[in-house]
Structure 1
Amino acid sequence: MTKTTGNPLALEEQVCFALAVASRNVIALYRPLLEPMGLTHPQYLVMLALWQHAPLSVKELSRLLQLDPGTLSPLLKRLESLDLVVRRRADHDERVLAVTLTPAGQALRAEAERIPPAIVSRLGMPIEELQDLHAMLTRVIDLTRDS
């Protein structure tokens, strides 16, 4: 545990600072793994959701990723231009835009399976600590979701 300074505005004591720096650093670890796949980290998150749940409506995808549709739309357009996903109006309701994986998008999953163990290795932390960190961050997300 780090020693506190007693200064409530000390940069090194701010949760937001630690989260921001950790987020940047962890995402940077993904970059060299994702570049050969032609994906950015946000695109990778979209693909993870689709590999797990496809087909999905844009609304469902937005909810899963906790992104507003305006942020998600350019990611989907780019993935579509890479021939990884297809967006189509749903047969049951033309107001619903459904996102499905193309064969190339489905095939990319096999390559992506090497990423989680590579990240665990690069972080150099015991898996139990990473699981605890994930649980704590998920709790923070849940507590701040509708704030």
Structure 2
Amino acid sequence: MATPIILDEQLCFSIYQAHKVFNRFYAKALAPFHLTYSQYIVLLALWQYGTLSVKALGERVGLDSGTLTPLLKRLEKDGWLSRQRSKRDERRLDVQLTAYGRDMQDKVDERVGTCMEWIGLTPDQYNHVRDAVSSVRDHLAAIPDGNFEDLPTMSN
């Protein structure tokens, strides 16, 4: 007989609940800038790496083109970034910050950084939690799809 699975003891449920709370947290923190969390992580990538192709940006932030394209159009409409065809390869669409997007980095960083203090973790604790969650993510991502074929099913 299998060991019963207790909801509140599941790491996946804890991460799921934390994800929901983080979404609410960032919605409030980013509201003055009219940014969503997904838009924020795109801006973080552009502030850190500069101009990126849409493909490279999507890989960096983990968003597919179906999600990324409307998000980029909205950020462009709101003046945060611009999209243009690469001069070296017309098939490639590059994304870069506008002057407004670059100028707003300090304001966004200050607000979100101040909010992050509310989490109540020391820098070492913060880094430890982030690294542990990243390790879980990496281990899950490395599991081959074929491994699931041998798991028990309702017919077993």
Same fold (TM over 0.5): yes
2: CA distance, partners of 1:94 / 1:15: 45
Match of 2:93 among 89, 93, 97: 97
**What does residue 17 of structure 1 align with?**
13
**What does residue 68 of structure 1 align with?**
64
Conservation of the 8 A alpha-carbon contact between 1:29 and 1:122: no
Q: Secondary structure at the match of 1:8?
A: coil
Residue 82, structure 1, aligned to residue 99, structure 2? no
Give the CA deviation at 1:88: 0.6
Give the CA deviation at 1:116: 4.3
Decide which moves more: 78-87 or 120-129.
Answer: 120-129
TM-score (norm 2): 0.84
Larger Rg, first or second structure (1 or 2): 2
Amino acid at match of 1:30: Y
2: CA distance, partners of 1:52 / 1:124: 26
Give the CA deviation at 1:117: 2.7
Residue 40, structure 1, aligned to residue 36, structure 2? yes
Amino acid at match of 1:131: N
What percentage of residue pairs aligned between the two structures are identical?
35
Amino acid at match of 1:49: A
Tell me the number of residue pairs that the alignment of Structure 1 and Structure 2 aligns.
142
**What does residue 28 of structure 1 align with?**
24
Q: CA RMSD in A?
A: 1.6
**What does residue 130 of structure 1 align with?**
126
Q: Secondary structure at the match of 1:125?
A: coil
Flag structure 1 segments of 5+ consecutive residues without an equivalent. Answer: 1-5
Give the CA deviation at 1:137: 1.2
TM-score (norm 1): 0.89
Amino acid at match of 1:74: P
1: CA distance, partners of 2:112 / 2:125: 15
> Which whole-Å deviations, capped at 9, do the CAs of 1:72-103 have from their partners, x for residues lacking one?
11110110110111111100001000001111
Give the CA deviation at 1:38: 1.4
Q: Secondary structure at the match of 1:114?
A: helix
